[in-house]
Amino acid sequence: MNKGKIVALVCILFLTCCGFPLGERHYFASEAESVRHLESNKSLFRQAVERWQAVNKAGAFEFHRWDNNSFSWNDTEIKPVKDRYYQVVKNREVLAEKTDFDHAASLAGVSSEELRWWTNISQTLQLYWISNIGTKLPPDQRYVEVSLRGSERGPYGFIYVPEDHASAYETFLYESERREPPLIYTKLDHIEGRWFYFESKP
C-alpha cells in the first residue's frame, strides 16, 4: 500500500472514530433518477410539503432523517437504541438515555402522531431534510426545500414554491432558464409546475 492510501485510510479512521459521520453517497445517482422518484411519488411529495406548511406556519422548524436511522425535530435529535427505545439529545445535552417514542416526541416539542407521520413519510420518500427557506423574507419570497437521502456529502433534492409565492417562483424560473443558479445552489433546473431540482455544496 502506498503512502497516499495509508494517509487516506488513517484520515477516514480518525474521522469515524472521533464521531464525524462521513455520510452516505447520494441515494439517487443522478438528477434523472431523482426526478423519476418525484414523478412516481408526486402525490406523496405534494402531501408532505403541504403538511409541512400547515404544521410549520412560522417557518422555524426543520426535520432531519440521518443515515444511521436517527432523526431530529428542529434542534432535538432522537436516536434509536435497543428494543425500540430512543435516546433524546438537545444541544448536546442528553434529555433521556432510554425512553419510548411518545416521550421522545414530547421532549422534542411535537406530538407523537406528527413525528411518527414524518418518520414514516421520510422512509417512504427517502427524505433527508425538509424546511422552509427565507423565513425572514416576505411570505411570497419563501419556499420549501426537500433534500433527499445521502445529502450529507452534498445536498440535492427538490424545491417546492407554494402557489401564492409569486416572487420566489419567478426568481427560480428565471434563474433556471438562465442556467445561472443563485449562489447557494450549484445546479437549479425547473421540473414542472412549482417543482425545481437543486444541488448545492455541503
pLDDT tens sequence across 25-70: 899 999 999 999 999 999 999 999 999 988 877 677 799 998 778 9
- Residue 150 in any domain: the answer is yes
Kind of pairing, strands 93-99 and 85-90? antiparallel
Kind of pairing, strands 76-81 and 71-73? antiparallel
For the cut 70, the answer to whether the pLDDT of residue 1 exceeds it is no
- Residue 6 in any domain: the answer is no
- Residue 16 in any domain: the answer is no
Burial class (CB in 10 A: 0-12, 13-18, 19+), 40: exposed
Percent of the chain residues topping a pLDDT of 70: 85
**Phi, psi of 11, rounded to the nearest 5 degrees:** -65, -45
Average model confidence (pLDDT) for the chain? Answer: 86
Question: Which secondary-structure segment (H or E) carries 187?
Answer: strand 187-192
Burial class (CB in 10 A: 0-12, 13-18, 19+), 54: exposed
For the cut 90, the answer to whether the pLDDT of residue 181 exceeds it is no
Residue-wise pLDDT for 140-170, tens only, equals: 999 999 999 999 889 999 999 999 999 999 9
- Residue 89 in any domain: the answer is no
- Residue 95 in any domain: the answer is no
For the cut 90, the answer to whether the pLDDT of residue 182 exceeds it is no
Which range marks the domain in which residue 165 is found?
A: 26-79+110-199
Dihedral sign from CA coordinates of 156, 141, 169, 60: positive
Count up the domains in the chain and report the number.
Answer: 1
- Residue 86 in any domain: the answer is no
What's the grid cell of residue 145?
426545500
- Residue 38 in any domain: the answer is yes
- Residue 39 in any domain: the answer is yes
Q: What is the mean pLDDT of residues 79-101?
A: 94
How much is the pLDDT for 21?
47
